[in-house]
A and B are shown apart, each in its own frame.
Chain A
Amino acid sequence: MLDLMGIAVRGLLHRKKRSWLTITGILIGITAVVALVSLGESMQLAVRRSFEELGYDVVMILPGELGGGFGGPSSFSTSFELDTESLTEVEGVEEIGLLNFQSVYVKADGNEGFLDALGVSENIFSFFKVEIVAGRGFSPDERGVVILGREVARELDLRAGSTLQIEDHPFKVVGIYSADSRLDEDAIILPLADLQELLGEEGVTMALVRVAPGDDVGQTAKRIENFLYRSRGRRDLSVQTMEEVHEVVQRALGILGAFLGGIAGIALLVGGIGVMNTMYTAVLERTREIGVMKAVGARNSQIALIFLMESGLMGLVGGALGTGIGSFLNFAAVTAAKRALGTRVLEYGISWWLVLGALGFSFLVGAIAGLLPARAAAKLDPVEALRYE
């Protein structure tokens, strides 16, 4: 077996340029598969990390039905009023965090314009972490203060201690946060009460409820839903456990991943056809050699195996290089996304099953592409093959 492999390798080396060109075809296909599939994995990883950070013991209350809008602060603009005191009485509810996403008009040192603002209840940082890179966070009951995204601070040339005008009210910058907070760097965070006062309304756009330890998250969510229906008389709010939300997002990403994988699969198919083409040419070119091998006693199965090994090897080499390049591209994309968007929508990650799968699959593509040419070689009539010029 190993000796037949030696013959196969020499066959490949004998037509180096063509072998490499064929390998490049597989390489491109596998690069596309690995890059796109690992990109999908990176997205899923980032999503999973976000949910883990928020915790699966958290229930979300949102206006309307879940779906479509889970993407970023600006997509939650419908506000609603919530009787938090009564909600706290519901069995299993431990803590309620409130959020309000709005656009506000900001002035600072001659710069002015609209910015995304996130009004938060003071306990919100126990739900998700905000990475403060300069200054500090809010103190309890503190008012008239704001934390800026690093991007905003840079553009407005502000630092901790500076002041700015939000809707014509003065605010003091107490801290700067970075994108490691999973919050875009081009937004600002201020106390919920301040934002509500500026906008003259009592509403929030999202509420996070932490379920008490030992209480079932799903059942608590049901109780909250019932409470909301009873107290409001209508179903205008949806209650989602993190698990449900995660599932929806994961399913969407799964479909996206399968779609991208399918496109990459086409590239790989083209690569496979390239291998088949090369192998047919090789069989034709080496017809006489095949005749000689048969004359010196090679069995049909041995001839077929030599050609299968050649095509499989081309697949494997293309696959190995493609996996390397593909995972590098994924790494580059994650890094670029972090720089350009200033947020962690991607998290670099490549799984062993993807690497091993890509290698196995590329060998398989090569071998399958070589199947028919190898059969053609094995079936050659030795006398005719020897006569072939």
Chain B
Amino acid sequence: MRDEAIVELLGVWKIYHMGRRGRITVEALRGVDLAVRRGEFLAVMGPSGSGKSTLLHLMGCLDRPTEGKVLFEGTDVSTMRSAALARIRNRRVGFVFQSFNLSPNLTALGNVELPMVFAGVPRRERLARARELLSRVGLRERERHLPAELSGGEQQRVAIARALANFPDLLLADEPTGNLDSETGHGVLSLLSETNVEGVTVVVVTHDPEVATAAKRRLRIRDGHIVEASDA
């Protein structure tokens, strides 16, 4: 089982120091052990402040644990330099956020191109890939539109296209349907499922029972602990 893990957390603690002089400490994760298997569709559920997003950030090499180890494809990333982590985020991971987080001054096409720009993909190749992805999410004809000119559902579809730009192995979605009505949310969920079927490992943090149902495995997290796990 362990050999199949794309990302693995071993006794991971994440403690934030907040407030003035960092006197207030928040234990977001308290000794979490978790292995995400290659190709699976995992839903992480739990109330606000339970540590879901922190878990996602650690899996995506956006953050380092305070204690414990995070193994990405067997390599400990906890002590890696920031440039090496950036490389993993760029080539191996795709992020989708609740509030879409598109660059407001870039067109839909420009936003999808962005990860490829940082990867140094040549322009011609980049444009072809970005257009292919926009076609796949049904927005090929809106490539010249700025985020402000797109609906919430459309923006999230652009964000998914962006997340898939550099052929990632792992797609991490933080409440991807949280800001969308149920019908639009359904469309986004279908896109995530399709992506998973094509072989990309998907981890979704959500409140939405429908999203959780679509996942093959579900985890519940509370107060920084994984309290319940179930396979679909």
Contact = CB atoms under 8 A, between A and B. Distances in A.
Given A11-B105, A288-B101, A289-B103, A297 B63 contact: no
Interface string B9-26: 000000000000000000
B95 interface: yes
Nearest to A387: B53
Contact of A292 (B57, B63, B87, B103): B103
Interface in B62-110: 62-63, 82-83, 86-87, 89-91, 95, 97, 101-106, 110
B129 interface: no
Given A300-B82, A382-B62, A383-B63, A293 B105 contact: no
B162 interface: yes
Interface in B124-152: none
A383 B166 CA distance: 21
A297 to B, nearest CB: 2
A234 interface: no
A382 B62 CA distance: 6
A297 B97 contact: no
Nearest to A2: B123
Given A11-B105, A292-B101, A297 B89 contact: yes
Contact of B104 (A7, A14, A294, A299): A14
B107 to A, nearest CB: 9
Interface string B151-171: 000000000001101100000
B31 to A, nearest CB: 20
Interface stretch (B111-119, B187-195, B220-228): B111-119
B57 A296 contact: no
Contact of B115 (A10, A14, A296): A296
B185 interface: no
B105 A383 contact: no
A381 to B, nearest CB: 8
B60 interface: yes
Contacts of B104: 14, 289
B91 A386 contact: no
A297 B115 contact: yes
In this complex, the interface size class of chain B, counting residues with CB under 8 Å from chain A, is: 20 to 34
Contact of B118 (A11, A289, A293): A293
Contacts of A294: 62, 86, 89
Interface string A196-228: 000000000000000000000000000000000
Interface in A299-322: 299-302
A387 to B, nearest CB: 9
Given A3-B123, A7-B117, A10-B106, A295 B89 contact: yes
Interface in A331-386: 382-383, 386
Nearest to A291: B101
B103 to A, nearest CB: 6
Contacts of B87: 297, 299
A133 interface: no
B118 A297 contact: yes
A2 B119 CA distance: 13
A90 interface: no
A300 B89 CA distance: 13
A296 B95 contact: yes
Contacts of B97: 292, 295, 386
A382 B102 CA distance: 15
A300 B83 CA distance: 7
A298 interface: yes
Contacts of B110: 10
Nearest to B93: A297
Interface of A: 3-4, 6-7, 10-11, 13-14, 288-289, 291-302, 382-383, 386
Given A7-B117, A298-B86, 19 more contacts: A6-B117, A7-B114, A10-B105, A288-B101, A292-B103, A294-B62, A295-B62, A295-B95, A295-B97, A296-B118, A296-B162, A297-B118, A297-B166, A298-B90, A298-B118, A299-B83, A299-B87, A300-B83, A386-B62
What 8 pairs between A and B have smallest CB-CB spacing? Answer: A297-B90, A14-B105, A296-B115, A292-B101, A3-B117, A299-B86, A297-B89, A298-B118
12 contacts: A3-B123, A11-B105, A289-B104, A294-B89, A295-B97, A297-B90, A297-B115, A382-B62, A382-B63, A383-B57, A383-B62, A383-B63
